[in-house]
A and B are shown apart, each in its own frame.
Chain A
Amino acid sequence: MRRLTPLRIAMLLAGLYLARPSAAVEPLAVVTHEQAALQHLSRDEAMRVFLKQQPLPTAARNLIPFDRTDDSLRAQFYQSVAGMSPHRLRAYWAKRVFTGRGRPPESLDANQAAVILSHNPAAITYTPRDQPLANSKTVLSIE
C-alpha cells in the first residue's frame, strides 16, 4: 500500500475539490406585469432592484421585487446578477436588516409569483425561461 505523504494528501484533496459536481445553469428571465411601463433592465439595475440599493433608475423606482422560494433558482439568479453566493447574500441581508437599512424581498413559490404578477403591475420577479409566468413580460434575459 502506498504511503500517504503530505503531497499525496494535497493532490487527493485538490482532485476531490475539482471533481465536485457543479450546479446546472439554466436560462432565466426577469419578468414584470405584462402592462408595466418598464421595458428593459440591465443586470446592474436588476441587482440594485433586488438588493434594494437606492436610488433606483426612474423606470424601476416603483418596482416591488419578489424572491423565489426555490433555493437553486434564487442562488442562480443572485450569482448571475450580483456574483453573490447564497451565504454572501444571507450575510448581506443580515447586515442590512440588523442595521435598520431594509428587508429582503418576500419569497414566493411559482404559483404565488404568477398570482402576484398578474395582479400587481409593480411586481418584479425571476423565473426559468422555460417556465414563463402568466400575464408577464420579460425585461431581462439571463443566459
Chain B
Amino acid sequence: MPQPHHWPSILLAALVPELASAGALHVGGFGTLGLSCFSSDQADFVLNVQPAGPGRSGRCDPRLDSLLAVQVDAQLTPVLEFGLQLTSDYNADGDFAPEPTVAQLRWHISDAATLRLGRTHNPAFLYSESRNVRYAMPWVRPPLEVYGLLPTYTFDGAEILSQGHWQGWHMEFQGSAAVADIDNPRANATGTDEAELKQAALGLTLDQADMLFKASYVRGRVSYSTPDLDALFGALRSLGGAAGASLASDLDLDDSRYDLFALAARYETDRWLVLAEYGYRPIDDSFFRDMQGAYITVGRNIGVWMPYATLAQRWTHGPDSDPRAGAFAPLVDTVLAATRFDSRSLSLGLSRPVHANATLKLQLDWIKPDDASWGLYTNHGSDYDYAHPDADYLMSINLDFVF
C-alpha cells in the first residue's frame, strides 16, 4: 500500500507521458555539495532536526548542507498547475531518503491570485520557502538564530497568494492554514519523537527596485512529548499535589499556542547587499520559553567576488526554575535549562559564481553560546561547559547549483 506522501509522485507519474508530449511539463532542480568542519569536540552543529553533524560526532561532515532536489511542474490546464519537489537531504532519521517538500495543486484564480493546495513551505521568513535553494541566497545556509525559531518548514494545507501594485511598490500577500507532523531526533540516542503543529500564517512582502520589506505573523498550536517528559509530568501530577499538577499542566507541550512575529528588510544592488531579519516567538504553556532572534548581513560585490559578513543573536526569555516543583525541582530545572539556546555568531563569507548555474561559497562562523546555554547545538558531551561554553569555529565550503 503506498504511503500518503507518495501519492503526489504516483499521480504525477501517471500524468507525465501525456503532459510531456503536450509540452506542459517542466523539470528542474537544485542542490548543494558541501563540507563543514566544526572545532568543538563537545557538541555537534546541526541544521534543525538533523541527528548529528560536524563536531563531537566527527570533526568534518559533508551531510550538514549537502542536498539534492528535483522539481516537476505540470501545466494541467491554462489555470491549473501541479508541482512536485522531492528533496534528499540529511534528515531526522539519519538518512537521505527523498521526501516531497512541495506537492501542490496551483489554481491561478486570476492574473494576480493563486490558490495552492497540498504541501507547501512555511512562509514566515524571507528565505523560508526557498531555504534549500542555497544558490538563491547569499550565505551557505540561513542564520539559525532566526530560522531556527520555527524549525518546521513543510506544511500540508491551503495557501492563497495575491499580488498587487501600490505607489510603485510590488506587493505580495500570503495567507495559509496548514498542519505538520515532524520527527525530532533524541540527542545522543537513536530514535525520534513526533511533534504535531497546526498554524495559520499571514505575510506581506513589498518590493521596489532595490528595496524589499516583509512582515509575517504566524499563530499556531503545537504538541510534543518524549518518554522522559511524560514520566516527569506524570510524576508531578501524581506525587506533586495541586501545585505539581498545575506546574505539569503549564510545562506540558500539549496543544500549546505559539505565535511568531517576523520582520525582514533587504537592500540589494549589483554592488551592495544589506539584509536584516528579526523574529519573536512567544509560546504559552510549555517547557519551551519565549525566544527572539535577529541577524544583519552586509555584502559587497567586487567583480565576481562577494565577501559578506553576518552578525546574529538568539535570546531566550523565561524562568530557570519554578517554586511549584517541590522535590522535583532538580528535574524541572534541568528541563527548563534544556531549552535555553542563547547564542551569538559572526560569520565571514566569500562567494563566487563558477558557472552560469553554480556558485562556490566559503564561510567561517565564530559561534559563542551565552553562559548557561546549550547553544544551537545537539549531542552535547558530558564535558560541555553549560555554565561557560567555549567559542567555536565552523568552516564550510559549499557548491550551490541549479539545473
- A residues touching B (Cβ–Cβ < 8 Å)? 17, 20, 44, 48, 53-56, 61, 79, 83-88, 90-92, 94-95, 97-101, 103
Say which residue of B30, B73, B170 sits within 8 Å of A94 (CB atoms): B30
Task: Check B270 against A99 for contact (C-beta < 8 Å).
Answer: no
**CB of B129 within 8 Å of the partner chain:** yes
Instruction: State how many angstroms separate the Cβ of B228 from the closest Cβ of chain A.
Output: 38
Choose one: B112, B130, B209, B210; the contact of A98 (CB below 8 Å).
B130
Residue of A nearest to B159 (CB): A100
Question: Could you list some 15 contacts between A and B, CB below 8 A?
Answer: A44-B168, A48-B170, A61-B111, A83-B269, A83-B270, A88-B270, A90-B402, A91-B136, A94-B30, A98-B69, A98-B130, A98-B133, A100-B73, A100-B106, A100-B116
Contacts of A79 in B (CB 8 A): 270
| CB–CB B133/A95 < 8 A | yes
Kindly provide the distance from the CB of A11 to the nearest chain B CB, expressed in whole angstroms: 15
Whether, in the assembled complex, B343 has its beta carbon less than 8 Å from a beta carbon of chain A, the answer is: no
Q: How far is B121's CA from A44's CA once the two chains are assembled, in angstroms?
A: 30
- In the docked arrangement, what's the CA distance between A91 and B106, Å? 22
Task: Assess whether A99 is in contact with B402, with CB atoms less than 8 Å apart.
Answer: no
Nearest A residue (CB) for B402: A94
The one of A56, A95, A100 that contacts B111, using a Cβ cutoff of 8 Å: A56
A94–B359 Cα gap in the complex (Å)? 13
Residue of A nearest to B132 (CB): A98
Separation in Å of the B377 CB from the closest CB of chain A?
A: 29
Q: How far is the CA of A79 from the CA of B209 in the complex (A)?
A: 12
Q: A55-B112, A94-B133, A99-B129 are in contact. List 16 more A-B contacts (CB 8 A).
A: A17-B303, A20-B303, A48-B170, A55-B164, A55-B165, A56-B111, A79-B270, A83-B210, A87-B353, A87-B359, A90-B402, A91-B135, A92-B136, A94-B30, A98-B69, A100-B120
Q: Are B302 and A17 in contact (CB under 8 A)?
A: yes
Contacting residues, chain B, for A53 (C-beta < 8 A): 163, 170
Does B356 contact A99, Cβ atoms closer than 8 Å? no
Q: Name the distance in Å between B55's Cβ and chain A's nearest Cβ.
A: 30
Cβ contact of B357, chosen from A17, A83, A90, cutoff 8 A = A90
B26 touches A103 (CB 8 A): yes
Inter-chain CA distance A103–B402, complex, in Å, is 14
Smallest Cβ-Cβ distance to A87: which chain B residue = B353
| Cβ-closest chain B residue relative to A47 | B209
With A48-B170, A91-B136, A103-B73 as given contacts, are A54 and B163 in contact (CB-CB < 8 Å)?
yes
- Chain A contacts of B135 at CB under 8 A? 90-91, 94
Indicate whether B285 reaches chain A with its CB closer than 8 angstroms.
Answer: no
Interchain CB contact (< 8 A) of A97 among B71, B132, B209, B353: B71
**Binary CB contact string for chain B from 146 to 170 against chain A (1 if under 8 A, 0 otherwise):** 0000000000000001011100101
Residue interface bits B87-130, CB-to-A below 8 A is 1, else 0: 00000000000000010101000011000100011000000011
Q: Contact at A55–B163, with CB atoms within 8 Å?
A: yes
Do B136 and A95 touch across chains, with their CB atoms under 8 A apart? yes
B54 CB within 8 Å of chain A:
no
Q: Which residue of B lies closest to A57 (CB)?
A: B165
Give every chain A residue within 8 A of B137 (Cβ-Cβ). 91
